[in-house]
Amino acid sequence: MVDRQHVLEVGAPDPELKNSPIMEETDEEFEVLAQEVSEKPVCYFNGAAYENGSFVRSGTDLLRCENGAWVREGSADPDNP
């Protein structure tokens, strides 16, 4: 389990910087998008690279890097997971 209080806060995505797509496993386009990113070793958020398996917080979202795309893991609020 991820300690939500100690996950790096990265802020909102800046459209001027390199960002990997953010998706949910329940999205209809999940499979298509997963194939497009095709097993990349890192995800980008505001120009910074994060290794597969890394977690970050963006506002109230907890995101996990999975093969080049961010997957929403739920709330980043430790009091309201």
Give the tens place of pLDDT for each residue, 6-47: 799 999 999 999 999 998 866 566 566 556 556 678 999 999
Residue 4: the pLDDT is 62
Residues 41-68: what's their mean pLDDT?
Answer: 94
In a domain, 47, yes or no: yes
* More reliable by pLDDT, 39 or 71: 71
36 inside domain:
yes
Instruction: Give a yes or no: residue 16 inside a domain.
Output: yes
Residue 10 included in any domain: yes
The DSSP H or E segment spanning 31 is helix 30-37
Number of domains in the chain: 1
Which residues are 64's β-sheet partners? 55, 71
The maximal CA–CA distance of the chain, rounded, in angstroms, is 35
Please tell me which residue, 25 or 56, carries the higher pLDDT value: 56
DSSP letter for 41, please.
Answer: S
Note whether residue 22 is domain-resident: yes
pTM for the structure as a whole: 0.78
